[in-house]
Structures are given as structure tokens and as C-alpha cells.
């Protein structure tokens, strides 16, 4: 699996909004991907994180995990998001993290098999948005990888 710095570089080069939002990839390993984002470039009129920014950070966290998963495949792959849902439980009133735990080994094996055999695979990922290690919002996204 590629490292956090490689995922961050990929996001900043290919999705410029990630750089403008101040997103940093602080962890990328077999357990999952963690992003951090500052309040300032993502603030709304209530001095909390703008909902669209929160959704984008969550989506990019899942995207980062998917990119790390497919980046080292021996064939070119495109990645898209098919569907997503966001639920807010409390305001994000400061710098915040997004955490996407890696799916279990069986789920990942099914994804890999479908991608190799059928040329397309989908994976549903859950992302928690955390402020001071408290979950303030939850994102669910379905990502699709397609062999070129």
C-alpha cells in the first residue's frame, strides 16, 4: 500500500480543492486512512465547518483509501463515486479529522476479484468526521473502480 505522503500528493495534484481546503493525509496503512483539515478555509457564517466542506473531506478520505488500494495494480484503473450520504450529529467547530477504516480482508478480496475478473468493482466505505476524537458526522459512500 502506498504511504500517506503519496496519497496527499495525489489528492493535491488531481483534486486541487483538497489543497485549497488545507487537507493533510496523516495516516495511510492497512488499518485505514486519516485526513485532517483546518477550520479556517472551511468555515461558514456560524464559525463552524461548512457542510459542503465536511462532505468533501469525508469523500476525499474514502477516495484516498480507494486510491491507495488501486494505485499499485498492474493495470490502469479509474475511480468514481457512485453514491454518498452524509449525516451530521453536531457542529464541527474547529480543526477536524476524517477516518475511513479499511474494510475487512474478505470484502477487500471480493473487491479485488471483481476488479480483475469483471473489470469493475464497487466498495461501500464509512467515514467518520471527528473533532477532539468525538464523532460529529458520518459519511457513507459507494466508490467504483473500473479497469481501463
Q: What is the pLDDT of residue 144?
A: 98
Q: What is the pLDDT of residue 35?
A: 98
| Cα separation, 59 vs 105, whole angstroms | 22
Q: What is the pLDDT of residues 91-132, one digit of tens each?
A: 999 999 999 999 999 999 999 999 999 999 999 999 999 999
Query: What's the average model confidence in pLDDT over 69-95?
Result: 95
- The closest alpha carbon to 136, from 81, 103, 76, 93, belongs to 93
Please count the CA atoms within 13 angstroms of the CA of 142 that sit on its side-chain side.
5
Q: What is the pLDDT of residue 1?
A: 75
Split into its structural domains, the chain has a count of 1
| Cα separation, 41 vs 32, whole angstroms | 25
- The closest alpha carbon to 32, from 68, 59, 83, belongs to 68
Query: What's the average model confidence in pLDDT over 40-61?
Result: 97
87: domain range? 4-147
- Which CATH number goes with the domain that contains 109? 3.10.129.10
Q: What is the pLDDT of residue 118?
A: 96
Rounded to 5 degrees, what are φ and ψ at 2?
-75, 160
Taking the model in full, what pTM does it have?
0.96
Share the mean pLDDT of the chain. Answer: 96
- The closest alpha carbon to 139, from 88, 68, 77, 79, belongs to 88
Does residue 101 sit in helix, strand or coil?
strand
Cell 450529529, located at residue: 89
Q: What is the pLDDT of residue 70?
A: 94
Amino acid at each position: 500500500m502506498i504511504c500517506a505522503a503519496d496519497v496527499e500528493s495525489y489528492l493535491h495534484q488531481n483534486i486541487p480543492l483538497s489543497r485549497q481546503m488545507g487537507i493533510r493525509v496523516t495516516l495511510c496503512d492497512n488499518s485505514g486512512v486519516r485526513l485532517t483539515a483546518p477550520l479556517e478555509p472551511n468555515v461558514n457564517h456560524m464559525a463552524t465547518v461548512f457542510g459542503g466542506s465536511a462532505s468533501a473531506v469525508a469523500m476525499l478520505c474514502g477516495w484516498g483509501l480507494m486510491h491507495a488500494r488501486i494505485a499499485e495494480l498492474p493495470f490502469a484503473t479509474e475511480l468514481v463515486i457512485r453514491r454518498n450520504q452524509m449525516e451530521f450529529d453536531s457542529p464541527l467547530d474547529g480543526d477536524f479529522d476524517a477516518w475511513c477504516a479499511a474494510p475487512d480482508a474478505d470484502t477487500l478480496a471480493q473487491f479485488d476479484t471483481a476488479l480483475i475478473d469483471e473489470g469493475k468493482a464497487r466498495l461501500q466505505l464509512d467515514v467518520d468526521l471527528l473533532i477532539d476524537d468525538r464523532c460529529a458526522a458520518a459519511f457513507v459512500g459507494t466508490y467504483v473502480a473500473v479497469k481501463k
